């Protein structure tokens, strides 16, 4: 059975971690003045990757809530 408290706490930690990672990668990227350097390209790729990952938050949350609801329905169905 999925514990909703654990699921919610995991989502909060995930959002905070990715948000902080984006801020750190963006700050690191902005310290490089040569936009054609390998350091800038790597930092920019990190910002892009973390930004793309954050686009999936809604799907991750909907899937988690859906699995919790299905698990609860199965639990209540077994009691009858």
34-41: Cβ within 8 A, 24+ apart: none
Q: Read off the pLDDT band of 65 (50, 70, 90).
A: confident
Specify the pLDDT at position 78.
67
- In tens, the pLDDT along 6-64 reads 777 887 888 888 888 888 888 888 888 888 989 889 888 888 888 887 778 778 778 87
pTM over cut 0.75? no
For the chain, the domains span 4-78
Q: Read off the pLDDT band of 5 (50, 70, 90).
A: confident
DSSP 43-78: HHHHHHHHHHHHTTHHHHHHHHHHHHHHHHHHHHHH
């Amino acid at each position: 059975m999925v514990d909703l408290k654990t699921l919610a706490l995991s989502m909060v930690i995930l959002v905070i971690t990715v948000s902080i990672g984006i801020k750190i990668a963006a700050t690191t990227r902005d310290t490089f003045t040569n936009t054609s350097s390998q350091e800038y390209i790597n930092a920019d790729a990190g910002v892009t990757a973390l930004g793309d990952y954050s686009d999936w938050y809604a799907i991750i949350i909907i899937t988690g809530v859906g699995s919790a609801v299905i698990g609860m329905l199965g639990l209540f169905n077994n009691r009858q």
